[in-house]
Amino acid sequence: MKRPLYIVILLLSLTFVSELAMAQNIQYVSDQIRITLRTGQGSTYQIIKTLDSGTKLNVLEITDTGYAQVKLEDGTVGWIRSQYLSEEPIARVQLEETQKQLDKLKEQNTRLREEAEKLRNTNQTLQAERSELSKNLAGTSSELTRLNEVAAKPILLDNENRELQQRNIAQEKQLQMVAQENQVLKDRSQREWFLAGAGVLLGGVLFGLLIPKVRWKKKSSWG
C-alpha cells in the first residue's frame, strides 16, 4: 500500500532536519595521540581506522554508554569513545590555524606595503608630471603674452601710420597755405615794384618836362 504524498514529504523533511541538526554538531578528536574508530560500541568491535588528534568529526549520536557515533569528512561512519571528543580544536590545530591566519595577515601586509609603495611612486610621478605641466603652462602663458604683443604691434603701427598720414596731410595743407601766402606776397611785391618803377618813370618824365620851363623862366628873369 502506497503512503500518502504528504506523509512521504513529512518523512523526508524530518530526515533532512535531523541530518542538518547532526551536521551542525561539529566536534574534534581531543588532544590525544591516536584513537580507534570501530564498527560498534565497545572494544570488541572491528576497528575501521585510527584517528589522529585534531581530526574533524561530525557527531551523529552520543549514547549514555560513553560512545559517540561520528562521521568523517570522507563519509566514513563509526563509533568512538565520547570522552575523546572536544568542542574546540586542539592546541596544535589552533596553533596551525593561528599560524595560517598570521601568514595570511603577513601576506596581506606585504601586499599592502607593495601597493603603498606603488601609490607613493605613482604620487611622485604625478607630482613630477604636475610640475612639468605647470612649467609648460607658464611657458605657454609667456608665449601667449608675446604673441599678443606681436599681434598688437601691427595695430599700433597702423595707428601710428594713420597719425603720420594725418600729420602729413596737415603739413601739406600748411605748405599749400604758405605757398599761397608766398605767392600773394610775391604778387604784392611785384605790384609794389611795378608801381614804384612807374612812379619813378612818371617822376622822371615830369622832371624832364619841368626842367626846361624852369630854365626858361630863369633866363627870362635874367634878361
**CATH code where residue 33 lies:** 2.30.30.40
Asked if the structure places residue 20 within a domain, the reply is yes
In a domain, 28, yes or no: yes
Give domain status of residue 116, yes or no.
no
Taking 70 as the threshold, does the pLDDT of residue 92 lie above it?
Answer: no
Mean pLDDT, all residues of the chain: 76
Domain count, the chain: 1
pLDDT band of residue 15 (cuts 50, 70, 90) is low
Q: Is 119 within a domain?
A: no
Q: Is 193 exposed, middle or buried (0-12, 13-18, 19+ CB in 10 A)?
A: exposed
Per-residue pLDDT, 70: 92
pLDDT of amino acid 173: 83
Is residue 80 one of the residues assigned to a domain?
yes
At residue 165 the predicted structure's pLDDT band, cuts being 50, 70 and 90, is confident
pLDDT at res. 194? 74
Can you give the residue range of the structural domain that contains 66? Answer: 5-87
> Which residues, at least 6 apart from 163, have a Cβ–Cβ distance to it below 8 Å?
none
53-57, 63-67, 112-116: which is most confident: 63-67
Maximum alpha-carbon separation in the chain: 217
Kindly give, in sequence order, each residue whose CB lies less than 8 Å from that of residue 37, ignoring residues fewer than 6 positions away.
Answer: 47, 48, 49, 50, 51, 70, 72, 76, 78, 79, 80
In this structure, are residues 69 and 77 in contact, taking their beta carbons and an 8 Å threshold?
A: yes
Task: Examine residue 206 and state whether it is found in any structural domain, yes or no.
Answer: no
Residue 55 in any domain: the answer is yes
pLDDT at 204 over 60: yes
Per-residue confidence (pLDDT) for residue 21, from 0 to 100: 47
Residue 25 to residue 186: CA distance in whole angstroms: 141
pLDDT value for 38: 93
